[in-house]
Structure 1
Amino acid sequence: MSITLNRRAFLASTAGFIALHPFSANAATNQAHLRIMETTDLHVHVFPYDYYADKPRDTVGLARTASLIKGIRDEATNSLLIDNGDFLQGNPMGDYIAYERGMKDGDIHPVIAAMNTLGFDASTLGNHEFNYGLDFLMKSLAGANFPVVNANIALELGSDPTKDKTLIPPYVILDHQVTDGSGATHDIKVGLIGFVPPQVMGWDRRHLEGNVQARDILETAKAYLPQMKEQGADVIIALSHSGIGDADASDGMENASVPLAGMDGIDAILTGHSHLVFPSPGYADFAGVDVDAGTLMGTPACMGGFWGSHMGLIDLLIEKDGNEWRVVSAQSEARPISKRNEDRSTTALVDSDETVLSSVQQEHDETLEYIRRAVGKTDAPLHSYFALVADDPSVQIVSIAQLWYIEQMMKGTEHEGLPILSAAAPFKAGGRGGPEYFTDVPKGDVAIKNVSDLYLYPNTARAVRVTGQQVKDWLERSAGMFNQVEPGAQDVVLLNPSFPSYNFDVIDGVTYQIDLSQPSKYDPKGVLLDADASRIVDLQFDGAPLDMTAEFIIATNNYRAGGGGSFPGATPETTVFEGPDTNRDVIVRYIVEQGTISPRADGNWSFKPMAGTSVLFDTGPAASAYLDQVNANIEAAGDGPDGFARFRITL
């Protein structure tokens, strides 16, 4: 039986009364409405506060998302609140707890305290849960008043996934009670199974190698789903901390949610990891995805943005047939906590939940003290508004600090004497983070909050040993950031939106140009497209053409050296140094030693000139204040979408 939705009734409110969702209002005897509420990729954002900018922010915070929950619960006869992972790391509060306060046995992590306050029913792990190590993770999970599940990370592998000794329970079957359309109650069993990208083994190698092993998501699901059915699960929900990607299955997929959703036995799927929203028009052309229906492979799905920006919702109308329950109709959506206005400002749609704020007030106050400590001074502003289109001071200072550190670490080793280069990428460069998501540190004191702003992730320092050819190919991989531009073309869109800024490595210690008229050698994921393609031209070291057979050390981080981003030459096999220090700590130490830093881009890379050609790119509106500091022919070109400003480069 299917229910026709009356959208006008949905969310209608009169005299303080919130109307029931049609599934609840129209359910028949032996039919029940089960609403699944999802948060995902919270990254410790409990307060609506930007710790990097040290100011309130309307668009983030579980405390604001929490204000949606009561009304959303009131619309449904039966509901579950579930988190989809990446809750422990991602802002300075997370770093403060991990690096300064620590987690002792019996401590409650602030994000866990907030989730306990809201009465979450379950969660799964995201890849960033492993950033601080397994001991920190397990102590944090111990404070949760709800089950946390993950099926594809194991302490020991068995003959098949169901024989593995998993790090935490692979799934849970909740005994839940639902009320049907006649008011009668029924006991049902809701199965929840969790998955994380197996790439965590490379991303957090230092914490995980030798301690756990990862399995393929789809292989693991195929093994466990029949077992969950045998154990009585009436409805199975996959908690997939994995993005919406290819529909065709392949081994070791990072973004496996589409083929996962197509597996027999899964009734609904919660997705995440990508920091995007589903259903949304951005997925309209994806195979196996129906944006209008809110389904992946016909299975209802949602993705609730990131940092608490949205509440993902899946509404299931379930019907009892004999002793079994089946889904007869479904609906998905994602509700925002804020809206963007025409003048680029944002307006909160809900207030913060005071009980959630109170649950972490002490840690919030301590975090503010932590981020405001001065460690040195800068005699020029540090900003990333033009980091994707010109050599940039915010990337430059990271590169210089890494180089300073690795030069010390190479002394007395077999690698001493090799020339050292440094690779760094802009982390805050707009994109999915929005038009305010840029590094912007004014001239003057540099505090810990500013270093966190420069380097978002708790990566650790690494060094790899590579050839000149691998240096060139590393840069060719980075140059995939740009669309191909025909000479003489006017106002071509420059940046490839599917290429994340954290994979745009600039290598200091060499000079080079990027020829935009040439095709990219690699696709946005690092897959070789054209072995003969060459965008990197006039590549020089020490004033002479780079010797392709010479050897170099590149200072980088554990993510890149572990294979993150699939950069040629950046592998565990080429890694010659694994530092005990985070890249952030390296930057802090460098600033402390220098006292005052002078972050000025040295112009070691640029675009190859193309007569009569221009390109467009979008960045934050505040970029205008720094336009005269950029070593490129850039001018304002009006407004971009979603609050961004548009600029033109004449090549």
Structure 2
Amino acid sequence: MRKLPQTPISRRGFLACSAASGALIALHPYSARAAANQAHLRIMETTDLHVHVFPYDYYADKPVDTVGLSRTASIIEGIRAEATNALLVDNGDFLQGNPLGDYIAYERGMKDGDMHPVITAMNTLGYDAGTIGNHEFNYGLGFLEKSIGGANFPIVLANIAKKQGATPREDETLFKPYVILDREITDGAGTSHPIRVGIIGFTPPQVMNWDRKHLEGNVQARDIVTTAEAWVPQMKEEGAEIIIALSHSGIGAAQREDGMENASVPLAAVEGIDALMTGHSHLVFPSADYDGQDAIDLSAGTIHGKPAVMGGFWGSHMGLIDLLLERDGNEWRVVSTTSEARPIYQRGEDRKVTALVEDDPEVLESIRPEHEAALDYVRRAVGETSAPLYSYFALVADDPSVQIVSIAQSWYIEQMMMGTEYEGLPILSAAAPFKAGGRGGPEYYTDVPAGPVAIKNVADLYLYPNTVRAVKVTGAQVKGWLERSAGMFNQIEPGATDAPLLNTDFPSYNFDVIDGVTYQIDLSQPAMFDREGNVVNEETNRIVNLRYNGAPIDPEAEFIIATNNYRATGGGSFPGTGDTIVFEAPDTNRDVIVRYIVEQGTINPSADDNWSFAPMEGTTVLFETGPKARDYMESVALDIEDAGDNADGYAQFRIKL
């Protein structure tokens, strides 16, 4: 094997044989076979890190092998070594998402000149560029600006402006819309050449709703594709030979619509974009998750013929796009591509996790003081619970982990409504389980034993730093809200045996339970809404026996629903949301839960069983949940029996309807 040349396009030089193990690293075919007028450029992506630098689950307070930039970092060196030239970029959602991020935002704070630990870690690894995800705005613009102030790499974002002009190119953008990196690239003969790489960034325009408190009146958002169509030609005019789009936007519908949240497919069709780094959806591309979708070629790893990648979340994967470039006159052009998402761990047939990489000790040490401070932060007790808080059955029965969130929200909004025009209206509360298995795996559930409740437990009950909202709705909208939520379940034929209960395409965070009313869900009926919230069965009635104070709910009656900013502003497309907000709290849902527990001293989170499935004689369904659910099955108000484990490590339970 020929000696690997240095990689001048990367700011952190590396030689092939310097891996910790000392093993030789095979060159990518593009590097091994590039001719004198050809060069291999590898683009490495992290996305949706959500402050996961250490391989640590702060909620469970234990090390894990499935997350952490420190783990991803250890394969960055080897991945760089496989390529003659490499760039490292981050695709957003790095600033919020675990208690370390909350500790910095709420406890330590960010003064001018302070370093945010995730930025410290990224500086340690020598990132070349990054963009802003939607969650970067969760703590406010001031916090965001101070946090990224210490970045040793450019941050770009094209579709958020402090002041909009007549066209995107006339906007006063919040960050630089793009950057053109002047680099040296080494060809197959070992000769260096200049190259100009343009990098542009995008985030979902829905941030204007999701973080209205911080953004309204301060910035404006544009459609992703419209913005790209304006700026990419200018990047070409300024000499960008290769353009990389950092799209903190999921891979959604191929049909273009204005204001799309998941706009990466139509974005890939924009002329001039050569490679697309995607994210936001916490999935992997290329993978079977996207099999059969329009404009996608999974075998080639392309969207509209452009190479694309999505590198999972929390550091689970390193996204890789490899470009074989060829000299065309005085410019470079792409002649061949490959895409891959390389994992840091694997699950065996027994569902046990095997780490594929070690930690990068330099990354760990760079933020160890902040990590230790975050551990102290989450371990503080704030009260007691007289009963365990768990979410193993949250999708099939009224649940203590959801109940306590609802109770705290109602308690808070009752106080906030005093002295307002809405005082006296009935107050309901909507809450959903956030940790309910799914993509998180069979261990991804809330499980807090009876006894002391610490901040880490509250963060486990409520994963996101949402703020409390109150909306005013009608009785008809309450029913519509619950019909939307009932999309969690498949339609079940009466008399069926062991039919799969859960609709696996429906996210658990959209399964709202509304406390303050009682109701049943008739599974024999089709769902009223599809996954995106569009009405597909207008005449259906899954929600039956809906009552308030024991009487059938009046469709014209008015109610206040306590919820969060995501749901109240239209997240999930629920009836009764989007334009019905009557109160915007300055407090997060987590803070409200903590305050409630502190005031009560000891809480009783026992579920009140205000909802259930409508009986279906002679019918059984199968429900999958975490194996530890067996510890609590006797306390659930269901006719339920253990049905063993499935191949993915989940426990199965048979429910008689």
Q: What is the DSSP-based 3-state SS (H/G/I as helix, E as strand, rest coil) of the residue aligned with 2:572?
A: coil
In structure 2, the partner of 1:5 is: none
1:265-298 Cα deviation digits (max 9, x unpaired): 1111001000011111121121111111111111
In structure 2, the partner of 1:631 is: 637
In structure 2, the partner of 1:268 is: 275
Residue from 193, 206, 213 that aligns with 2:200 = 193
1:461-500 Cα deviation digits (max 9, x unpaired): 1111111001110101101111111111222222122211
Residue from 64, 68, 75 that aligns with 1:57 = 64
1:384 and 1:105 map into 2 onto residues whose CA distance is 41
Question: So what's the TM-score if we normalise by structure 2?
Answer: 0.96
2:568 and 2:144 map into 1 onto residues whose CA distance is 23
Residue from 250, 263, 268 that aligns with 2:257 = 250
- Range that drifts further, 321-330 or 358-367: 321-330
The residue correspondences of 1:39-188 to structure 2 (distance < 5 A) are 39-188=46-195
1:475 and 1:151 map into 2 onto residues whose CA distance is 38
In structure 2, the partner of 1:449 is: 456
Q: What is the DSSP-based 3-state SS (H/G/I as helix, E as strand, rest coil) of the residue aligned with 2:189?
A: coil
In structure 2, the partner of 1:301 is: 308
1:618 and 1:516 map into 2 onto residues whose CA distance is 17
1:296-343 Cα deviation digits (max 9, x unpaired): 111111111000000010111010111221111111111111111233
Pick closer, same or farther for the CA change 1:15–1:449 going to 2, 3 Å: closer
1:302 and 1:636 map into 2 onto residues whose CA distance is 40
1:312 and 1:636 map into 2 onto residues whose CA distance is 40
In structure 2, the partner of 1:622 is: 628
Contact 1:236 1:268 in 2 (8 A): yes
2:384 and 2:651 map into 1 onto residues whose CA distance is 30
In structure 2, the partner of 1:604 is: 610
What amino acid maps onto 1:415 in structure 2?
Answer: Y
1:81 and 1:233 map into 2 onto residues whose CA distance is 18
**2:227 is the alignment partner of 1:220:** yes
In structure 1, the gaps of 5 or more residues are 1-9
Q: What is the DSSP-based 3-state SS (H/G/I as helix, E as strand, rest coil) of the residue aligned with 1:643?
A: coil
CA positional deviation for 1:15? 7.5
In structure 2, the partner of 1:584 is: 590
CA positional deviation for 1:641? 4.3
In structure 2, the partner of 1:519 is: 526
2:619 and 2:268 map into 1 onto residues whose CA distance is 45
CA positional deviation for 1:47? 0.2
In structure 1, the partner of 2:360 is: 353
Contact 1:64 1:308 in 2 (8 A): yes
In structure 2, the partner of 1:4 is: none
Residue from 197, 211, 214 that aligns with 1:204 = 211
1:311 and 1:641 map into 2 onto residues whose CA distance is 27
**2:636 is the alignment partner of 1:650:** no
In structure 1, the partner of 2:8 is: none
What amino acid maps onto 1:471 in structure 2?
Answer: V
Aligned residue pairs total 640
CA positional deviation for 1:569? 0.9
CA positional deviation for 1:523? 1.1
1:641 and 1:247 map into 2 onto residues whose CA distance is 33
Q: What is the DSSP-based 3-state SS (H/G/I as helix, E as strand, rest coil) of the residue aligned with 2:473?
A: strand
In structure 2, the partner of 1:422 is: 429
Contact 1:481 1:524 in 2 (8 A): no
**2:390 is the alignment partner of 1:383:** yes
Residue from 13, 24, 38 that aligns with 2:31 = 24
2:197 and 2:277 map into 1 onto residues whose CA distance is 14
Q: What is the DSSP-based 3-state SS (H/G/I as helix, E as strand, rest coil) of the residue aligned with 2:648?
A: helix
CA positional deviation for 1:52? 0.4
CA positional deviation for 1:578? 1.1
- Range that drifts further, 226-235 or 526-535: 526-535
What amino acid maps onto 1:580 in structure 2?
Answer: P
CA positional deviation for 1:353? 0.5
Contact 1:340 1:642 in 2 (8 A): no
In structure 2, the partner of 1:432 is: 439
**2:346 is the alignment partner of 1:339:** yes
What amino acid maps onto 2:431 in structure 1?
Answer: A
1:66-99 Cα deviation digits (max 9, x unpaired): 0001110000000000110000000000000000
Q: What is the DSSP-based 3-state SS (H/G/I as helix, E as strand, rest coil) of the residue aligned with 1:406?
A: helix
Residue from 552, 577, 580 that aligns with 1:574 = 580
1:298 and 1:313 map into 2 onto residues whose CA distance is 16
1:635 and 1:314 map into 2 onto residues whose CA distance is 48
- Range that drifts further, 335-344 or 402-411: 335-344
- Range that drifts further, 634-643 or 423-432: 634-643
2:646 and 2:252 map into 1 onto residues whose CA distance is 27
Q: What is the DSSP-based 3-state SS (H/G/I as helix, E as strand, rest coil) of the residue aligned with 1:93?
A: helix
1:147 and 1:296 map into 2 onto residues whose CA distance is 26
Contact 2:349 2:647 in 1 (8 A): no
Displacement over 4 Å in runs of 4+: none
Q: What is the DSSP-based 3-state SS (H/G/I as helix, E as strand, rest coil) of the residue aligned with 1:364?
A: helix
Contact 2:211 2:565 in 1 (8 A): yes
In structure 2, the gaps of 5 or more residues are 1-15
In structure 1, the partner of 2:477 is: 470
What amino acid maps onto 2:648 in structure 1?
Answer: D
Q: What is the DSSP-based 3-state SS (H/G/I as helix, E as strand, rest coil) of the residue aligned with 1:18?
A: coil
- Range that drifts further, 73-82 or 412-421: 412-421
1:647 and 1:143 map into 2 onto residues whose CA distance is 51
Contact 2:425 2:558 in 1 (8 A): yes
Q: What is the DSSP-based 3-state SS (H/G/I as helix, E as strand, rest coil) of the residue aligned with 1:646?
A: strand
1:524-551 Cα deviation digits (max 9, x unpaired): 1211212212110000010111111111
Contact 2:350 2:648 in 1 (8 A): no
